[in-house]
C-alpha cells in the first residue's frame, strides 16, 4: 500500500507548476491528524460527500422546473455532479489538481437555500440590517460551522484551498475578512470550477427548458451559439433533422465540448501571455487567468440573456419562483415571531455561539430543502 507522502509525490509529478499541491497545503483551521493513505483534498471531498447539506442538494432545485413536468430535470445534486465531471476533465487536461477541483465542485452549491436564486433574494431581503445573505458566504458557514459531525471542532474543518472556493465572488481585499490571504488571487482550480459551473447550467438549463416545453427551438436558433452548433451536428448527421430529442441532446453535448475546448485553449493562452509559470504568479495576477475567448464569451452572454428573458422569467416558471420567494419570507417571519418553533439545537446557538437570532433563523431556513420549506409553510403560514 502506498502511503500519503508517496501518493502525493506520484500525483504531483503529473501537475503543472501552476497547480496547487496537497503537500504545500496551508492546512486546516483546527489541528487534525491526516489519514495514512488519503491526501488532504481527497479527505475534503469525502467529508463533503458525507455531510447532510450535500444530501439535501437532491431536494433543492435551481430553476424550479420540477413543478412543470417530469422527473428527469436536474436538481442541485445532479447539477453538482455535472459540474464536478466537467471540472475534473478540464483539470486533468490542464495539469491542475484534480482532487482539489473535485472537492471544490462538490462543495460549490452547499450554501444555496431552497428555491434557488429567488430563495437567496428572499433571505437577503429579510436579513437587511443583519448582515444580508449570500449563497457563497453561506457555503463557508456550512462547512466551517453549521455541519456538526466531529467531537473536536465545528464544521468539516476543510483545508484552506477547498474553503477558498467560496470566496470566488469576493473582491481581493474582501477575502481577508474571511481569513484568506489579502492581496492574493484565487487558485486556477477555484477559477476553473466557477467556469465549469457556468458551462453546466447554461447548457443543462437549455435542455431542461426544451424538455419542459418552456423554451422553443426556433427561438434558440436566433442565438449564434445554438445555431452554429446545431448546423455543425446536422452537417455531420443529417438524420438528426427528423429526430428532435436526439438533436437537442447532440447540440447540448457539442456545446459543452465547444465551451470546454475554448476555455482550456484561452486559459493556456492567457497563462503564456501573462508569463505565469508558477503558482506564486497565479496568486499575484490581478486578472482572471481561466476564461473564454472574447468571441465565445460574447455568444455565451447572449445565451445567458436569452435564458433570463425566456426561461427564468417565463410566466410559468416565474409564477412559482415569485410565489415561493414571498412564502420563504413568511416562513422566516413565522420563526421570528415564535422562537419555540425553532428546533432546540438551533435556538441554543444564540447563547452558545454568540449568533444573533436573525442569523440563526436564516441559517435554519437556508438549510431547508424545497419540500421541507413547503411543509413548514403549510404548518405555520397557511391561512
Ligand atoms: Mg452551481
Q: What is the CATH number of the domain that holds 180?
A: 1.10.3210.10
| Calpha distance 325→123 (Å, rounded) | 9
Flag whether pLDDT at 49 surpasses 80.
yes
The rounded Å distance from CA 198 to ligand 1 centre is: 7
Query: Which residue reads 455535472 in cell numbers?
Result: 82
Each residue's pLDDT tens digit, 206-231: 999 998 889 999 999 999 999 999 99
Residues with Cβ < 8 Å from 31, sequence gap 6 or more?
152
**Confidence bin at 20 (pLDDT 50/70/90):** very high
Query: Residue 277 Cα, ligand 1 centroid: separation in angstroms?
Result: 29
How far apart are the C-alpha atoms of 245 and 239, rounded to whole Å? 12
Rounded-to-integer distance, Cα 337 and Cα 331, Å: 10
Give residue 116 CA to ligand 1 midpoint distance, Å: 10
Q: What is the pLDDT of residue 343?
A: 96
pLDDT in tens, 170-187: 776 678 888 898 889 999
Span from the CA of 79 to the centroid of ligand 1 (angstroms): 7
What's the rounded Cα separation, in Å, for the pair 211 and 195?
24
Q: What was the pLDDT predicted at 66?
A: 56
Q: How confident is the model at residue 72 (pLDDT cuts 50, 70, 90)?
A: confident
Check the CA dihedral 225-227-230-235 and report its sign.
negative
Domain limits at 299? Answer: 4-380
CA 95 to chain centre: 22
Q: What is the mean pLDDT of residues 349-373?
A: 95
Neighbours of 248 (CB within 10 A): 19
For all residues of the chain together, what is the average pLDDT? Answer: 94
Cα separation, 19 vs 33, in Å, equals 24
- Report the percentage of the chain scoring pLDDT > 70: 98
| Count of the separate structural domains present in the chain | 1
Amino acid at each position: 500500500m502506498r502511503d500519503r507522502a508517496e501518493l502525493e509525490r506520484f500525483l504531483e509529478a503529473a501537475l503543472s507548476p501552476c497547480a496547487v499541491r496537497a503537500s504545500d497545503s496551508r492546512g486546516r483551521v483546527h489541528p487534525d491528524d491526516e489519514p495514512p493513505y488519503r491526501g488532504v483534498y481527497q479527505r475534503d471531498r469525502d467529508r463533503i460527500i458525507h455531510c447532510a447539506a450535500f444530501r439535501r442538494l437532491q431536494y433543492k432545485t435551481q430553476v424550479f422546473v420540477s413543478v412543470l413536468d417530469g422527473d428527469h430535470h436536474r436538481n442541485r445534486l445532479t447539477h453538482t455532479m455535472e459540474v464536478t465531471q466537467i471540472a475534473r476533465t478540464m483539470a486533468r487536461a490542464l495539469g491542475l489538481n484534480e482532487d482539489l477541483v473535485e472537492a471544490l465542485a462538490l462543495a460549490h452549491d452547499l450554501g444555496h437555500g431552497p428555491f434557488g436564486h429567488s430563495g437567496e433574494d428572499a433571505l437577503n431581503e429579510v436579513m437587511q440590517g443583519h448582515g444580508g445573505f449570500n449563497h457563497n458566504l453561506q457555503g463557508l458557514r456550512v462547512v466551517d460551522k453549521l455541519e456538526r459531525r466531529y467531537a473536536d471542532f465545528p464544521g468539516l474543518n476543510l483545508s484552506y484551498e477547498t474553503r477558498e472556493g467560496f470566496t470566488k465572488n469576493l473582491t481581493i481585499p474582501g477575502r481577508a475578512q474571511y481569513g484568506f490571504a489579502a492581496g492574493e488571487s484565487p487558485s486556477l482550480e477555484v477559477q476553473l470550477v466557477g467556469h465549469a459551473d457556468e458551462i453546466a447550467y447554461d447548457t443543462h438549463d437549455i435542455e431542461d427548458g426544451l424538455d419542459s416545453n418552456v423554451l422553443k427551438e426556433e427561438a434558440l436558433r436566433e442565438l449564434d451559439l445554438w445555431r452554429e452548433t446545431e448546423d455543425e451536428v446536422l452537417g455531420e448527421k443529417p438524420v438528426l433533422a427528423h429526430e428532435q430529442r436526439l438533436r437537442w441532446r447532440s447540440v447540448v453535448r457539442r456545446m459543452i465540448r465547444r465551451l470546454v475546448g475554448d476555455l482550456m485553449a484561452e486559459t493556456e493562452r492567457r497563462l503564456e501571455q501573462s508569463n505565469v509559470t508558477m503558482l506564486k504568479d497565479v496568486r499575484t495576477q490581478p486578472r482572471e487567468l481561466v476564461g473564454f475567448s472574447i468571441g465565445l464569451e460574447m455568444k455565451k452572454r447572449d445565451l445567458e440573456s436569452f435564458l433570463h428573458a425566456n426561461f427564468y422569467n417565463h410566466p410559468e416558471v416565474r409564477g412559482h419562483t415569485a410565489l415561493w420567494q414571498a412564502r420563504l419570507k413568511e416562513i422566516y417571519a413565522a420563526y421570528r415571531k415564535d422562537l419555540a418553533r425553532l428546533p432546540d439545537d438551533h435556538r441554543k446557538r444564540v447563547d452558545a455561539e454568540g449568533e444573533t437570532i436573525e442569523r440563526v433563523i436564516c441559517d435554519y431556513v437556508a438549510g431547508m430543502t424545497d419540500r421541507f420549506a413547503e411543509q413548514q409553510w403549510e404548518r405555520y403560514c397557511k391561512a
